[in-house]
Amino acid sequence: WAPSNTPNGGWGVFNQTALIRMETTEFDMYGTSAPGFSNMNLALGNDAGILLVKQYASYESPPQSSDVDLIGIVHYAAVLVFFLLTCFSVALQNPKQIAKLGSAFVLLVAIAVVPELSVKLAENSATQGEVEWDDDWPDEWKGTQVMVFEIDGQQHAIGGLEPQTTVYELTTLACEELGITTQIEQQYLGAYLVSFNGSIGDGWEFTVDGTRSPVGMSDAQLKDDSIVEWRPV
């Protein structure tokens, strides 16, 4: 079991190689504590100090995380076997056998590595990018900080404001100028944006110059010409 320290919270149940499922509650938010177990009870707590205790019937038991990934085990066992056979063929100096077993070994390694590389590349492509300048924006905005909101399918943008240091400061100022209402909660890890104009959805995320920030909006630093975009998750 491992807590998900994100706005949506929850606890992930893992085996040796993969996530099996997410355990969630109606009070989920940032959480850094592992669950607690006792006889027929499961206790889940978040960083807001809310503790939820689930009680199971006498014939039930709390969810277990001991599921075995048989495919993963077989795969890694096959990699090990072909590696040992390849080494044995090298020791016997059998070129044909080395070529056959070596090819199989490389193929098995590629099957394991390529999907992970694909995921990493996809994540980088999704989080890194450049913001294209909108031709509808006034030329006076160039070289200044620009804030863009996508709310209920409509885009609201403003630029030429006095430079701000953080995304939180620029968001607050831009919303005041555009007449957009916000709900922002001060949580353990800083300010968390709940809604724009009452729209909550599945949450909100921001990018700075096309890149997702590894920190919250209170700590995300801006340049004098940064473009910040808020979109629903």
60-73, pLDDT tens digit by residue? 444 444 445 566 67
Where residue 177 falls among pLDDT bands split at 50, 70, 90?
very high
**The residue to which tokens 């403003």 are assigned:** 158
Residues 6 or more apart whose Cβ sits within 8 Å of residue 204: 193, 195, 196, 230, 231, 232, 233
Nearest to 166 by CA among 207, 223, 126, 87: 223
Where residue 19 falls among pLDDT bands split at 50, 70, 90?
low
The partner residues of 159 in beta bridges, in order of sequence, read 146
pLDDT single digits (tens) 107-129 = 766 666 555 555 455 445 444 55
Domain extents in the chain: 2-55, 70-127, 139-232
Of 11 and 170, more confident: 170
Least confident of 6-10, 52-56, 125-129: 125-129
Nearest to 206 by CA among 71, 215, 174, 197: 215
Structural contact between residues 62 and 37, judged by C-beta atoms closer than 8 angstroms = yes
Alpha helix positions (H), 46-195: 70-92, 95-127, 167-178
Annotate 70-91 with b (16+ C-beta within 10 A) or e (fewer). Answer: eeeeeeeeebeebbebbeebee
Average pLDDT of the residues of the chain = 76
Residue 233: per-residue pLDDT: 85
- Checking if the pLDDT of 76 tops 90, the result is no
Tokens found for residue 174: 């831009």
The 8-class DSSP code of residue 199 comes to: B
Nearest to 196 by CA among 163, 145, 153: 153
Segment 145-161 shows an average pLDDT of 93
* Reported CATH class of domain 139-232: mainly beta
